[in-house]
Amino acid sequence: MVRRRGSALERVLLSLAPTLAEWQRFKQAIDDFCRNRQWNEPLMLDLQLVCEEWFLNIVKHGYRVDRPDALAGYPPIEVAMWMEGQDELNIRFVDAAPPFDPVAYEAPNLALSAEERQIGGLGIYLIKQKMDNCEYRRIDGRNELILRKNITQAI
């Protein structure tokens, strides 16, 4: 669902099935939100990258969905995007996967070669680098991740 105030997209609220196919619908909502505000392409691409990384992490690692028939019984992933004032973009993910706090996740050692590094963690590192603030909490058996970005420096 998309809420509009006048001609401006005020808030995006999505309920996404935990399947890779839902990424296209999510991506379109991000595109519409950014284009409506006339944000530049690099900012839009950064937001797509961050959202794709976290959405796919939830689907693949949280829900561990690897087959279309595995979706039965999985609750949707709730996503909200909105502006706080004129300069702060907020993106909120809520899922019912097992607890996982990406904020506490240790950054990979980028000084090591790809062969020497442990597998995983680069996506979370990327999210933390692209966003200004990341907050995690576990509420009523669900993960909540809120990502914030000051867009005045990015547009």
**154 pairs with which residues across the strands?**
none
**90 pairs with which residues across the strands?**
82, 148
- The amino acid at 107: A
- In this predicted model, what pLDDT tens digit does every residue of 30-86 receive, in sequence order? 999 999 999 999 999 999 999 999 999 999 888 876 655 555 578 899 999 999 988
Full domain range(s) for residue 39: 2-153
* Phi, psi (deg, nearest 5) at residue 116: -85, -25
* CA distances, 90 to each of 27, 57, 119 (Å): 16, 19, 29
Instruction: Please classify residue 145 by burial: count the beta carbons closer than 10 Å to its beta carbon, then call 0-12 exposed, 13-18 middle and 19+ buried.
Output: buried
pLDDT at 7 over 50: no
Q: What is the total count of domains within the chain? A: 1
Residues 82 and 40: their CA atoms lie apart, in Å, by 17
Q: What's the whole-model pTM score?
A: 0.84
CATH number at residue 30: 3.30.565.10
- In this predicted model, what pLDDT tens digit does every residue of 102-145 receive, in sequence order? 988 776 555 555 555 455 556 788 899 999 999 999 999 999 99
